[in-house]
């Protein structure tokens, strides 16, 4: 535990401004919620700076100061935000106390190399603060939508009952509407039909393209790669416009020449369009997996008499399978969440879940959208977790990380 002992106490001229900045950052949110962000910054900075100065120079008792900090911030949180504010106040009170002594006692250097300069230490923690702030601003909208999906009222805002944690303010009626409403269920079934088929096509073509482009003897492979991944670079509205004209001609030919039903042709167009959007993700993930692939294995299989197809399925595919599955999951998410292309290429019969959500926002402002958004978030988290597990497995198979 010697590494955790305080290195040296820092001057108040360093500690007080830092904790005041932290208090002002919290005060910005509290003040904005109550009508004055600037006043919130001033009050938050002054309050936290005063508490820090009192704890260090007057009280000089770290354990007692922790409980005082928690109590003061919790009381203020309850005054401004009720029970949720009380809970947040307890958390931030303990956080401010820890931050104060973490700076004052020099504990921020305990796990760093002793020869780092102050500038290097500042960059070490500043970089982590920037990454944390980006993460917070990205994840906050999701954290707001999820509890709102349980709102008992048809509002897109938190009701007083929800803020008081009153059970009467919460309900599953929006989820019930999603699972019982014919419009929502039809669009959900369309997504479940289109996304898997588009994923299979994307994985098949994308994997073959990645294997071909990974060969060093292929002429112009960099230009071909750029063209293949262009759907994820070009603005989606441009791709959707081009697909509209391209697949319109194909649809007319399928209906007029082959006599296929219009609804079936609509599904074909949407599936092919989504497959085009998913192929770049498969190419990128499979190409990254092929970087560590040992080419001598395929040559050894050929020397043993295996044909290229057998070599691919028995030797190459098992080793690149994590990358293939990861690319397939990304292609599935892309197809399942896509709305712009299906608006251009599809018709009312191919209305997908994102299309129905877009319609709900534009025409009837249905709160069921919140429930659907929460379900999609849960599905996305599950799929991305699977991708991360597969990535780690791929690294272990290639010897890039310990087993």
Phi, psi of 170 (to 5 degrees): -120, 145
d(CA 77, CA 163): 13
> Tokens 């949110």 sit at which residue?
29
Q: What is the pLDDT of residue 1?
A: 39
Q: What is the pLDDT of residue 398?
A: 59
Do the domain assignments include residue 157? no
Q: Which of 111, 134, 151 is the last residue of a domain?
A: 111
Q: Are residues 337 and 205 in the same domain?
A: yes
Reduce the DSSP state of residue 95 to 3 states and report it: helix
Does residue 30 contact residue 71 with C-beta atoms inside 8 Å? no
Q: Are residues 202 and 54 in the same domain?
A: no
Q: Which of 111, 137, 158 is the last residue of a domain?
A: 111
For the entire predicted model, the pTM comes to 0.72
Q: Are residues 189 and 100 in the same domain?
A: no
Burial of residue 52, with CB atoms counted within 10 A of its CB: 0-12 exposed, 13-18 middle, 19 or more buried:
buried
Q: What is the pLDDT of residue 216?
A: 76
Please give the residue range of the domain that contains residue 70: 2-111
* Beta-carbon contacts of residue 54 (< 8 Å; ≥ 6 apart): 65
In this prediction, the residues of the chain whose per-residue pLDDT falls under 50 are 1-6, 403
Does residue 251 contact residue 295 with C-beta atoms inside 8 Å? no
Do the domain assignments include residue 162? no
Q: What is the pLDDT of residue 367?
A: 81
């Amino acid at each position: 535990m010697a590494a955790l002992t305080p290195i040296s106490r820092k001057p108040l001229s360093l500690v007080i401004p830092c904790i005041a900045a932290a208090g002002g950052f919290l005060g910005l949110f509290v003040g904005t919620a109550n009508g004055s962000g600037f006043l919130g910054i001033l009050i938050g900075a002054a309050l936290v700076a005063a508490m820090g100065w009192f704890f260090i120079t007057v009280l000089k008792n770290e354990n007692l100061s922790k409980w005082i900090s928690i109590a003061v911030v919790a009381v203020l949180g309850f005054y401004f935000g009720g029970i949720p504010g009380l809970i947040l106040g307890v958390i931030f009170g303990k956080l401010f106390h820890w931050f104060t002594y973490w700076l004052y006692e020099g504990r921020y250097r305990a796990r760093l190399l002793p020869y780092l300069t102050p500038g290097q230490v500042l960059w070490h923690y500043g970089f982590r603060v920037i990454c944390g702030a980006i993460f917070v601003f990205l994840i906050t909208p999701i954290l707001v939508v999820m509890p709102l999906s349980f709102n008992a009222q048809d509002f897109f805002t938190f009701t007083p009952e929800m803020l008081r944690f009153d059970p009467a303010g919460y309900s599953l009626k929006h989820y019930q509407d999603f699972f019982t409403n014919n419009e929502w269920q039809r669009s959900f079934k369309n997504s479940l039909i289109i996304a898997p088929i588009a994923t299979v096509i994307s994985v098949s073509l994308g994997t073959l393209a990645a294997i071909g482009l990974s060969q060093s003897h292929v002429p112009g492979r960099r230009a071909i790669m750029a063209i293949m991944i262009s759907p994820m670079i070009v603005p989606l509205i441009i791709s959707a416009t081009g697909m509209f004209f391209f697949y319109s001609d194909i649809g007319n030919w399928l209906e007029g020449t082959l006599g296929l039903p219009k609804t079936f042709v609509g599904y074909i167009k949407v599936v092919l369009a989504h497959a085009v959007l998913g192929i770049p993700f498969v190419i990128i993930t499979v190409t990254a997996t092929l970087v560590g692939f040992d080419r001598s294995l395929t040559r050894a299989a050929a020397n043993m008499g295996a044909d290229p197809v057998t070599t691919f399925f028995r030797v190459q595919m098992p080793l690149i399978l994590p990358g293939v599955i990861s690319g397939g999951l990304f292609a599935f998410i892309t197809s399942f969440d896509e709305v712009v292309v299906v608006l251009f290429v599809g018709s009312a019969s191919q209305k997908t879940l994102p299309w129905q959500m877009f319609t709900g926002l534009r025409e009837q402002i249905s709160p069921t959208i919140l429930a659907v958004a929460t379900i999609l978030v849960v599905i996305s988290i599950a799929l991305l977790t699977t991708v991360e597990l597969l990535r780690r497995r791929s690294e272990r198979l290639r010897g890039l990380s310990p087993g």
